[in-house]
Structure 1
Amino acid sequence: MESGRAGGRAGAGPTGLMHAERHPVGERLLHNTGAQVAPARPGPQTDALRDVFSSLMVFDEVNEYLGGVITALDIRYPAAGDHPLEGRRLPDADL
C-alpha cells in the first residue's frame, strides 16, 4: 500500500474536511442568491421591502456588509494561526 493512500484512493479525511468547509459556503450562496432575486418579484409586499432596503443602503456599514456577502470576499476559513489575514483572501496591494 502506498503511503497516505488506501487501495489507490484518497481516504475520507481530506474529502470530509473539504465538504465540511465548503458546504456551508454553498448553502450561503444559494440563500443569498434567493434573497437577491426576491426584490425583483412584483407586488406591494416587495415594493415595501425595496423601500426599506433602499433606506438601509445609505449606511456605509450596510454597503460594506452586502458587498462582502455578494462577492463572498467576507468568507474566512478556519486557520491554524492567529494572523488576521489567515484564512482570508489576500487584500489588494500595489506592486
Structure 2
Amino acid sequence: MTSRVVMYCTAVCPYCTMAERLLQNKGVADIQKIRVDLEPQQRELMMQKTGRRTVPQIYIGDTHVGGFDDLSALDRAGKLDPLLQA
C-alpha cells in the first residue's frame, strides 16, 4: 500500500505531467489532484501551506515534497520509495 499523494496542479503544466508520470511508474495508482487553475482559492491555500507559488506542489502523506525537481531528486537519492511506502 502506498501513502496518500496530493498534488496541486494545473491543466497545462508539463512539470505536473512529469510528476504524475514518475509517481505512476512508482506504482501510485491514485493521485488526488487539486486544480489551482479551476479553483483560485486553492492556489491561495497552497501558497499559505507551502510558501511557494509554482505547481506542482506535492504531498506524500503529511510530507511536503515540493515540486517535480524535488520529487525527482528524492527518487535519484533513493528516498522516494520509502516515503511512498511509509
Fold equivalence (TM over 0.5) = no
Structure with greater strand percent: 2
**TM range, smaller chain:** under 0.3
Q: Which protein has greater RCO, CA pairs closer than 8 Å, 6+ apart?
A: 2
Structure with greater helix percent: 1
Q: TM-score, normalised by structure 1?
A: 0.26
